Amino acid sequence: MRIVFEKYSLKLVGIQSLGISLKQDRCEYWIRHEVNWTNVVAQIESAFFEQEFVNLHAAQIKNFFLQHKHSMQ
């Protein structure tokens, strides 16, 4: 799984093979308008849970955000 940030646009690349789909426009909206990064992560996790994806993938996204949130501001 690879996540690429271009300005404030989130692109999820190379994860179709894992059976994951997450709409880029929704992520992009969260990044542009959400100040609280915990809320951003929670919303992304919710998107995964709503589509019945396994917790591991949500955790990977969460860890990535927590590690890179300062470089995205």
pLDDT in tens, the chain (73 residues): 344 443 333 444 434 433 344 454 455 444 555 545 566 566 666 655 555 444 445 566 666 666 665 554 4
Whether the CB-CB separation of 59 and 1 falls below 8 Å is answered with: no
For the chain, the domain total comes to 1
The confidence score (pLDDT) of residue 61 equals 65
**Domain of residue 57, residue span:** 2-72
- Rounded to two decimals, the pTM is 0.29
Locus of tokens 């589509």: 51
Q: What's the pLDDT at 62?
A: 65
57, two tokens: 């993938």
- pLDDT given at position 60: 66
